[in-house]
Amino acid sequence: MKIPVIAADVTVEPSGNSRVLWISSLAFALGFAVWGMFAALAPFLIKWYDFSATQVLILTAMEPFFAAAVSIPLGILTDKFGGRSVFTLLLLVLTLPLLLGYFAQGYYTFLLVGTLLGLGGATFVVGNAHVSSWYPKSKQGTALGIFGMGNVGITVGMVTVTFLVTRVLSGPDGWRLIFPIFASATFLMALVYWFFTSDPPNRKLKKTSLREIFAVYRSGAVVWLVTYLYWVSFGTLTFFASAMSIYLLDQWHVDAIRASMVYTPPLVICVAATRPLGGWLADRSDPFRILRWLFGIMVVLALLMTLQISLPVQLVAMYGLALMSGAAAAAVIKLIPMYFVHVGAVSGLAKAAGAACGFAMTMILAMSKQLLGDYTLGFAIWALMNVAAFYIVLSRVGFRDTKPLIERPSGTREILTASGA
């Protein structure tokens, strides 16, 4: 009688890698710092170039638009080739539009540079997939929550740019030096990422075809519901980071420096601060139960924001939404490895949605102002999007008939993930 040879288990999960986690988080923070540059410059461009509030809102909306466009292919490439290679290449490519920014002149040139800097926002999907590949599912919520604190990079970018423009790089064109400064930092980070990170040892054992990766997008409702939940949760950050400094300047007549350095940066800090908490709670409890509370509170705050009662009330609603959305984004990210094997592909789709939300909502806010003379309709649409997210997590529509991977019988994981069963 022959004794069957049992192949090595190629699905054994690594126990974690703190070096990859922290370097990925720093690289992600730098990418978001680059992404925050134009949000900081926007109020000054109104003054320097006599742009309208609507023009500048469109300009800041182009970064999340391009981030959305490239997130899905970057997520697929990360699943296929590994986070180390893709993240390093992404950082190197990002240095090119930063160098181009030094020579920008006129609205359409700024529009082109601002669009290409959306690559900084796409660092999330690559780092998210790289970090998750190093951690078991029982620890991914916490690890990805820590990684998500890299959102604070937007604040670093906004404060740094505003400080350099107003205090250091004086003169007619001195502010342009911010572009080569950020380009140098991005190039150095690319070198650090290549030489000091690695892909997990079990990655070389996995042979994943593009057909298998693309199959996840046809797998059923769950992939799109997770994507929508991330549209609302992470979209809060991309929407606020793109639009709030201009909104505060135009609606409440807040000084440009104050809007960029005092009021807007805490929004990003609030999102970053609660992401580890949201991931930790999602590791230890039912993510849907956590999300019910978070989205429920977000609905109330979004409705309050729509009323635009006063600047203090508006700030309370904005900061409250930022706090809730940070935790919600981490809890939603926890759902991805629970239901899907190809984390990069799904997180790429989710990140594309989160970035696209920043673009779409900033454009809606700009059109609301342009056509109706105020921002009420834009915020009302935002409130309705929060209501829809709350309904999804409350009813679990689409999720009730789909078991998480950890609850599926051994040996069926890959097939079920591809088919969406």
Query: 378-388: per-residue pLDDT in tens?
Result: 999 999 999 99
Grade residue 417 by pLDDT with cuts at 50, 70 and 90.
Answer: very low
pLDDT at 6 over 60: no
**Six-digit token pair at 378?**
């834009």
pLDDT at 7: 38
DSSP calls for 54-99: HHHHHHHHHHHHHHHHHHHHHHHHHHHH-HHHHHHHHHHHHHHHHH
The answer on pLDDT for 273 being more than 50 is yes
Residues in the chain: 421
The model's pLDDT over 287-344, given as tens digits with 9 standing for 90+, comes to 999 999 999 999 999 999 999 999 999 999 999 999 999 999 989 988 987 888 777 6
Which amino acid appears at position 149 of this protein? M
Poorest-confidence range of 127-136, 352-361, 404-413?
Answer: 404-413
What pLDDT is attached to residue 312?
95
Report the pLDDT value the prediction gives residue 340, as an integer from 0 to 100. 83
C-alpha dist (Å) from residue 24 to 68, 129, 151, 314: 20, 10, 12, 34
Beta strand ranges found along 179-250 (DSSP E): none
The answer to whether the CB of 29 falls within 8 A of the CB of 150 is yes
Residue 70, pLDDT > 50, answer yes
The whole-angstrom separation of Cα 338 and Cα 347 is 12
What mean pLDDT is predicted for residues 49-55? Answer: 84
The per-residue pLDDT for 23 is: 95
Rounded Cα distance, 347 and 355, in Å: 12
Give how far the C-alpha of residue 40 lies from the chain's centroid of Cα atoms, to the nearest Å: 18
Name all domains of the chain by residue range, CATH numbers in brackets: 18-198+210-400 (1.20.1250.20)
CA neighbor of 141 nearest in space, from 294, 274, 286, 278? 278
Higher per-residue pLDDT: 103 or 92: 92
User: How does residue 203 score in pLDDT terms, banded at 50, 70 and 90?
Assistant: low
Q: What is the mean pLDDT of residues 275-279?
A: 87
pLDDT of 160 strictly over 90: no
Say how far apart CA 58 and CA 52 lie, in whole Å: 10
Mean pLDDT confidence for 367-392? 95
CB burial of 380-395 (b: ≥16 within 10 Å; e: otherwise) equals: bbbbebbeebbebbee
pLDDT of residue 382: 96
CA distance 275 to 262: 22
**Mean of pLDDT over the chain:** 84
pLDDT value for 349: 83
Tokens for 158, please give them: 């906004």
Residue 341 — φ and ψ, nearest 5°? -80, -45
Q: What is the Rg, in whole angstroms, of the alpha carbon atoms belonging to the chain?
A: 21
**Res 19: pLDDT:** 93
Report the pLDDT value the prediction gives residue 402, as an integer from 0 to 100. 77
pLDDT at 10: 45
Residue 346: which H helix or E strand, with range?
helix 343-372
